[in-house]
Structures are given as structure tokens and as C-alpha cells.
Amino acid sequence: MYKKMFEPGKIGNVKIKNRTVMTAMGVGVAEPTGMPGERWATYFEERAKGEVGLIITEVTRVNNNNGVATPGQLSVATDAVIKPLSKAVDRIHKHGTKIFVQLHHPGRQSMAAIPAMWPFGMAASKVFPPFWKVAFAMGSKMNMDLDALDTPLMIKAQSFLPGLYAPSDVPCGLGVSFVKNQPTHEMTKKQIHKLQEQFIDGAVRCKKAGVDGVELHAAHGYLIQQFLSPYTNRRKDEYGGSLENRMRFISEIIEGIKDKCGKDYPVIVRLTVNEFYDVLDMPDEGIKLEEGIEMAKRLEKLGVDAIDVSCASYETLNHLIETMSFEQGWRAPFVKAIKDAVKIPVIGVGVIREPAFAEKLLKDGTQDFIGLGRPLIADPYWVKKAKEGKDDEIQRCICCVTCFESLETNALSGQPCECSMNPRACREFLYEDIKKGKKGKTIVVVGAGPAGLTAARECAKRGYKTVLLEKAATTGGQLNLAKMPPHKDKMNWAIEDLTKQAELAGVKIKCGVDVTEEVLAKYKPYGVIIATGGVSAKPPIPGSDKPNVCTTTDILNGTVSVKDKNVAVIGSGMTGLETSSLLVECGNKLTVVEMADKIAPGLWCQHYFDVVPGLEKAGTKFITGSKLVEITDGAVVLEDKKGKRCTVDADAVVLSLGVKPVNNLEEAARKVAKKVVVVGDAKKPGKIYTGTKEAFKAAITI
């Protein structure tokens, strides 16, 4: 069906069975020691089973001290990795898929506490083998509060830690970056040369393990890119200044790998060709496309076998790991610019979510290989389904960035990243042998939101006769509200794909059903899973019953329309901010009120920067540290923490004060079924991935 995508290709002397590449993503599936265990091997083998042509591993450290980035990061820093890596590589090769290892050093984009403490952990685990298990158990009870990095106490505390390696003392922390206020150390020449040797030695170990090639991570703001960028590299010696000097660090690594591994051992460079500092109002800073093209040309002359085109850094993170507001294929113009400049193969990513779109990029000559990152987390069988013409069975990535957010927030517990659409992601080895359900038994799932659809699908896969009952006229639940703000249309993909997956599994979906005890009893269920979601909370604040007051739900579902008015939005969580964006589009002037000391407390940085700058540009006024105490006919009365009150004009008031569970069926369900489980927002309001994860676990154990 997709002739171009399934043509064989080559990178150097390595033949690849099709034009799809699983690009490197930090997911945290290796052991704390850096070894590739069962979790690591099963995760990558699952994608090989899905028929991807080439796998490039997640960021792999070459140094176990200052090069540590995440707890579950693969390491090729010692010979100990060769044997286990070789065994894992054999499992991938068994499916006809090739594998490259991405060699990486975080440089300034890390937390100084990690390299400071990690050597101690490595040493302790040799003396006390359960060390990591105990450490992560303790870490799981702690809250990963990245906002705390901005507090005076943490800034002072971190200043005593050893500095992070970097070409120059330019700390990370602008724009979207969650890495802030970290001490940064300008590398000496001795340190530069030692680290170059470690990159080269890492490549040698990869070759010994049977890895087909290596990729140098010169993108996303990590150390090699820091040397390449005129913003982060301000050195005055031969490793800084001119482009030739800034490229010297990577050039000498490439020459060393080719010397020790052989000129025919493939080397890919993942290259940021545009740092996008213009989005931070710094248009003259960093790598811009013109210089990125020149870098690609010089890398080709050095003998590099392919360019894996990328962009941005942590400081421009939304251009690196795109949020929902980015269109499919938005990077195509600068991928094509590199393709036109070099003769070696070009790999390109850029929100490529659908096979037809991928095929078009190949036919148009935009790139030689299709880079698939997050799509293969959401659906490991994306490539196989495309090959078989089953596009409508693909579970598309919706760009919710839960994978990256969870990678960071799970760090203290040592757990890998999570996916809103695929609860099995990075945990495949745990779910290889799910027990069949009780023969001939029926499971009724109530509520067809993401949790209900997930639960129903998994119950049906286990062999249960599964019925999904939904009160509304369509499936989707709260996603039907979530898709309404600007640039949130990918939520439709979640509804369509989760519904299709449930149908394919054999779920009988019935919409427009008002579920009662009598309705449940009709099915004589063995089990009932309640996934009835939640509703917007409307606390009894004086004046909240006035006709000019509504909730975000009323705005998003179209029950209430507000245009060309002064509107007060109370609450600045994600729903409040996205509803505010919709209200701005309708010509309203907004005041957003937040009781906490900052807007969107606890909101992941990418979501904040995806919405708040647009609201600021539209003239939205933000008031923090104040709570709503009364609503009058034309205003809201606010009270700050000192008890001082003020009045803000408001023709309309929109409440975004959280969600309360809807669970009025549990008692009835227990009268007619042996097993009853409540999941998702019906149990406790949360994010999409918390609901689908709970639903998945309930469905495979009921």
C-alpha cells in the first residue's frame, strides 16, 4: 500500500528492510547500573516485532560519573555492557530489524545532584545489592517538584554541587526549560580529550556487542550541541569561536570512531539545525538553519553515514518534543533543506503520525527515512499495521507529552516513562502472560471515556463477553470537552482510536443508555467496571447561582456562549487556561484568578508555555494569591492572603475549580455483580494516563 515506505534502504553498509526508523527517546528502561535487562530488551524487541526497519536506542551514556542523565539510562561506559547488550541485540536482529546505539552526554542539561550522587549509588549497590530498590522505594514517596528549583534555598543548596560539564559557563534555564539554576563548569582541554575518548570507547563496545552502528547525539541541547552552538560555546581556544572550531569536538570523536571501529562502521549524527531562540525573543542567538546546513555538509565530508535532522533544546522544548499545537510534518521545510544539501541519507521526524503522510514525505523527496519516536511508544505495531493496510487500527500519539513529563517526574522512583494511550509502554515484560478471563462470563463497563474504553478493550482481549454502556450519544467522555479549545483537535484521535481498538477487541458499545441497577442486572455480569468520569466542581460561593456564572464544562460543551465581554476565569489549571484560550478567540477580555502564588501551579512547563504566552499577548490579566469570596451582578470580589479585598469587573464568571467524581452506581453494581471496580475520574480526578493506567490494571486482574 505504501510502496516508498517499504522499499529497502541503506545507511553506510547496513541494509535496512524499510524506510522507518525508531528514533532515540529517553524512556528509562535500562537497569540503574546502566545494563540492558529484561525490561530494556522486551521494550525494543516489541518494536522490532512491529517491523520497524531501524531502532536507535534511547540516550546512552559514555561516562558513569558526569555523564549520567536519568536513572534508567543505558550505559556503554564499561566492558560489562558488552555481553548483555549482545544478547539483547540478538533478540532484535531475530526480527530483521537493525539497531544503532545513540551515544550521549547531557552537559549543562542535567541536575547537578545526579552526577554528584550517582557514583555513590553505584558503589553502594556493589556492597549492598538491594540499594537501588530501597532508594527508589523511598523516592517514590517523595514529590518531584521541579518548581522548587527556583526557590532561594534550592538555588543556594545547588551552588555547592560540582558544576555540570559544558563548553562554557552558560547555565541552562531560559524559556521552557525545567532545568534551572544548576552550577555549570567550563571544561578544561584535558576533560575534553578524556570525554572524547569515552565516546570513542563506547562506540567500540557497541561494535563488539554486535550493534549495527552508532548515533552521536548532537541535538536537543546536549553536550555536543552545546559545543556546536555559538550561544552555549563562548570559548576562546581551538574548541570555540569559528564554526570549524565549534565543530572540532564532534569532528575528533567521529575521526576516532572511524579509526578504531573501521571506516565502514556506520555513524549517524542527530543534528539540531535550528535552536529556535527567536521564540524567546533572541533572534540573533544560537544555531540557525543556514549554519545547520553548513554543519551537515561538513559532517558528510568527515565520513558521517547519515544525518538525523532535529532542532531546539530544553530552553525551546516545545519545538523539540511537540505539544498538540504543532501540525503534522511541521519540520518538513528544514528537513528538506538538509536533504537538498547532502548526498548521504537523511532521517526526519516532526509529528509524523499517519502512514499516508509519511509516504508523501518520502515521495516528495523531503527525506530518505521516516523518523518515528512517540508514535512507537503509543503503538509498537505502527509500521506493521501500515504495511498491512490497517491504518485505522493504529493508536496514534496525541502529543500530550505525558511520556516526557512522566520520565522526569518518575525519576525519584526509578520508573520509566508512561503513555496516555498505551499503558503497556515500557512495561511490556510485565504483561507478556496476562491470564484469560473466566469462560462465558460477562463484564459490563459503564462510561466510554478513555478509562472505560481502555478497560473494555482489555476485558474483551481476555475473552470476556464485554459490554460498554455510555449515557451520552457518543464515546469519548471528557475528551469531547478537551478537544474544544484551540489546537486540541488531536484529542479526536484519542476518541477515534480508543473506540476502534475496543470494537476490534469485540466490545459491544451501546450509547444513549441511562444505566441503573435494573439495566446492569439484565446482563447478569460477573464484573462491573465503573468509569463514569467526573463533572466540574461548583462550590457554594455567594453569587455562584447567578445567571452570569458557569463552569468550564458549560463553555466547552457549548451550553453557554460568551462573546465580547469582560470575563473572570477562576482557577488556572490546564482546563481553566485552555478554556481561557477559547474565550479569547470569542473576543472576550479576560482576568484569570488563581489562589496559589503563581499561575498554573504544578502544571508541566510545556503546557504552560503552550498556552500562557498567547493569553498574555491577548492582554489577559493574571491575579495570583487571591481567592474568590463573592460574585456580584457585574464583578467578582477577591481576597488576598492578608485578608485584603478587591473588586474586579466581570460581566461573566467562569469557574475552573477542579473536578468532582461521578459515582452513583457502585452500590447498585455490588448488588448484581461479584466484582466491582471504580476507575479514572469516577474514583479520583486525574490525567488521561492515570485513568487509562488504572483501567488497564483493573481489566487485566478482574
Q: Half-sphere exposure of 490 toward its Cβ, with a 13 Å CA cutoff?
A: 21
Nearest to 655 by CA among 560, 523, 514: 560
Q: What span, in angstroms and rounded, lies between the C-alpha atoms of 370 and 10?
A: 13
Please report which helix (H) or strand (E) contains residue 256, including its range: helix 248-261
Contact 485, 555 (CB under 8 A): no
Helices and strands in the chain, H and E counts: 24, 29
3-state SS, residue 451: helix
318 to 179, 227, 604: CA distances (angstroms):
14, 22, 12
Close Cβ partners of 244 (under 8 Å, ≥ 6 residues apart): none
Report the catalytic residues. Answer: 222
Tracing cell 572550531 back to the chain, one arrives at: 245
Q: What are the DSSP E strand ranges found in 45-111?
A: 54-56, 60-61, 74-75, 98-104
Q: What span, in angstroms and rounded, lies between the C-alpha atoms of 185 and 581?
A: 41
DSSP secondary structure code for residue 551 in this structure: E
Nearest to 339 by CA among 372, 368, 371, 310: 368
In one letter, which amino acid is 490?
K
Q: Is 154 exposed, middle or buried (0-12, 13-18, 19+ CB in 10 A)?
A: middle
Q: What span, in angstroms and rounded, lies between the C-alpha atoms of 601 and 701?
A: 35
Q: What span, in angstroms and rounded, lies between the C-alpha atoms of 266 and 378?
A: 29
Please report which helix (H) or strand (E) contains residue 653, including its range: strand 652-655
Contact 359, 367 (CB under 8 A): no
**What long-range pairs does 145-148 form, CB within 8 A, spacing at least 24?**
146/178, 146/408, 146/605, 147/598, 147/601, 147/602
